[in-house]
Amino acid sequence: MPEAVAMLHITKTFPGVVANKDVNLVVQRGEIRAIVGENGAGKTTLMRILYGLERADSGTIRVKGQEVKIPNARVAIALGIGMVHQHFKLVPSYTLAQNIVLGVEPRRGPFVDHERALREVHELSARYGLTVNGEKKVSDASVGEQQRAEILKALYRGADILILDEPTSVLTDMETDELFIMLRRLAADGKTILFISHKLREVLEVSDNTTVMRGGRVVGTVKTAETSDRKLAEMMIGRETVEIPPREEPPQVGQPVLELEGVDVYDSRGIPAVREASLVIRSGEVVGIAGVEGNGQVELAEAITGLQPIACGRIRLEGREIQNRSTRQIRQAGVAHIPSDRNSTGVALEAQVWENLIAVDYHAPPYSGMLVLAINRILSYAKDVVTRFGVQTPGLKSPTRNLSGGNVQRLVVARELGSNRARVVVAAQPTRGIDIAGTEAIRRMLLEYTGRGAGVLLISADLDEVLALSDRVMVMYRGRLADAGRVDETIRQRVGRLMTGAEP
């Protein structure tokens, strides 16, 4: 089989983060290649480079034997590369057929030849078994159908190298099975498929070869038939023994501060995202929740902090029930929340630094009276926490947008922990995308907090982080929490099994 794509010595850095480091990836024509790794392993960046959405700092790319430069997606499309993004890019008010031919419509004179477009779309869809009803509007189509339209969109533009970014994350099991049948048919027809995933069972089911990435590097490429989910999980999360940094003193574990009992949460579409979740966090303890993202972690955090209602169960803070109270009541009762998405949830980027720092505490004395904010008192408090938490900012009145990502995160941590009030800290991905110094600082702040008798619920897709900070680890898979027990020498293996849905 001739070579379809070769990416050689690709390196790509973002400010503070190395996304790809000397990555090599060679894929043959007609191959289904899975690229797996934890979040932040660099899979998506690598594919975005191939599709011309990012430019590599160094390295070469060959497509079908020719060395090429891919400055933008148009060049990638001309080279026969198509990409189906995790979040579809379709025009909701157009029909599926209109979306598929969008921008390259067949024409009759100056007009779009709708009939021919529809006919061509249906021919293409019949050829690969990608059933779509071209006349249906996107807003009426199922998620699976929208995805098939995305694939057809790429094929219609002549793609023979297809990149699929986490294609199954939005699909039901049946839709996933259908997708795999289609992918095999496409591969049999000579199309090359690059398939990003972190669901190992699916990877094992559909791919010919699997490349594992970790921390921006390729750990290895294996024949899928000769591996197992256990081996892949080990490659993904690393084989090295756990290095538990010595906690200054053993945690003084006390009374339970947060208890969850049989909590169910439905997501915005009404699908259960958290099922029968139960856990206990004691004073002075860090409980880590590991697991691949999208298994209900966000919903769990939002349910505890009052941003999403729970359908059943109980949540108790130091014995008092807090489920389905307002966010303000829950925060005042003593829950701090570091959200997983700092830019869209954790701050208002247009607001000034002090305005973000006081957003939780502004409404009560000493920071305001009945009506008016005590601006001077707020500013001196803000100055104090900015120093204490090492937030690098041009000034308290600068727009928050001017801060770097790491400093925005420090700002969030400073706000949530600065007032020393919280009994429970829900920390979701607290160090994502942050450089090493910032990561260490934030981890230290969290650990210090437990020293004062608070409990921390640490939710992170970064297993190293979970293991480094937690006293106990639970794994979230498909909305359910499974207990992986105390952190010890065999924790990685136990977590790895639970992460892929195996029984404990």
Partner 1 sequence: MSSKARLKGLLIGVAMQAANYALILIMALVVGAAVILVSGKNPIDAYIALFQGALGSPIKIADTLDRSSVLILTGLAAAVAFRTSVWNLGLEGQLYAGAFAAAWVGFSIHGLPSPIHITLCLLAGTLVGGLWGLPAILLKLRWDVNEVVSTLMLNYIAILFTAYLVAFPFRSPTAFMPGTETLDATARLPRLMIPGSVLNIGFLIALAFAFSVFWFLYRTKLGYELRMVGFNPRFAGYAGMPVRRSTFLAMIFSGALAGLGGAVVITGFFGRFISSFSVGYGWDGMVISLLAQNHPLGVIPAAIFYAALANGALAMQSATGVPQALVVTVKGTIMFFVTVQFFIAFLNRRLRQWMPSTS
Residue of 11, 9, 3 lying closest to 63 (CA atoms):
3
Please identify, using beta-carbon distances, which residue of 207 and 305 lies nearer to partner 1.
305
Please identify, using beta-carbon distances, which residue of 178 and 355 lies nearer to partner 1.
355
3-state secondary structure labels for all residues of 177-233: HHHHHHHHHHHHCCCEEEEEECCHHHHHHHCCEEEEEECCEEEEEEEHHHCCHHHHH
Task: Report, in Å, the least distance between residue 488 CB and partner 1.
Answer: 30
Answer for the pair 103, 91: CB distance below 8 angstroms, yes or no: no
Binding segment (CB under 8 A) for partner 1, from list 117-125, 153-161, 240-248, 339-347: 339-347
Residue 39 is a binding residue for partner 1 (CB under 8 A)? yes
By rule CB under 8 A, what string of x and - marks binding of each residue 418-457 to partner 1? ---------------x------------------------
Task: Report, in Å, the least distance between residue 160 CB and partner 1.
Answer: 27
In whole angstroms, give the CA distance from residue 255 to residue 274. Answer: 25
Tokens 């910032």 correspond to 438
Binding segment (CB under 8 A) for partner 1, from list 145-153, 280-288, 335-343, 467-475: 335-343
Q: Which residue in 133, 324, 327, 493 binds partner 1 (CB under 8 A)?
A: 327
In whole angstroms, give the CA distance from residue 212 to residue 207. Answer: 13
Residue 305 is a binding residue for partner 1 (CB under 8 A)? yes
DSSP code of 343?
A: I
Residue 360 is a binding residue for partner 1 (CB under 8 A)? yes
Number of Cβ atoms within 10 Å of the Cβ of 307: 16
Residue 334 is a binding residue for partner 1 (CB under 8 A)? no
Please identify, using beta-carbon distances, which residue of 63 and 347 lies nearer to partner 1.
347
Residue 174 is a binding residue for partner 1 (CB under 8 A)? no
Please identify, using beta-carbon distances, which residue of 39 and 493 lies nearer to partner 1.
39
Please identify, using beta-carbon distances, which residue of 19 and 187 lies nearer to partner 1.
19
In whole angstroms, give the CA distance from residue 46 to residue 213. Answer: 10
Please identify, using beta-carbon distances, which residue of 75 and 396 lies nearer to partner 1.
396
Residue 21 is a binding residue for partner 1 (CB under 8 A)? no
Answer for the pair 48, 80: CB distance below 8 angstroms, yes or no: no
Residue 344 is a binding residue for partner 1 (CB under 8 A)? yes
Answer for the pair 477, 498: CB distance below 8 angstroms, yes or no: yes
Tokens 């699976």 correspond to 144
Please identify, using beta-carbon distances, which residue of 271 and 371 lies nearer to partner 1.
371
Residue 9 is a binding residue for partner 1 (CB under 8 A)? no
Please identify, using beta-carbon distances, which residue of 278 and 402 lies nearer to partner 1.
402
Task: Collect all residues with Cβ–Cβ distance below 8 Å to 391 and sequence separation of at least 6.
Answer: 353, 385, 403, 407, 410, 411, 414
Which residue spans within 136-191 are E strands per DSSP?
161-165
Q: Half-sphere exposure of residue 146, counting CA atoms within 13 Å on the CB side?
A: 21
Q: ∠ at Cα 299 (298, 300), nearest 5°?
A: 90
Note the residues at the interface with partner 1 (CB under 8 A).
14-15, 17, 19, 39-45, 48, 54, 305, 307, 326-328, 330-332, 337, 339, 343-351, 355, 359-360, 362-363, 368, 371-373, 375, 395, 401, 405, 433
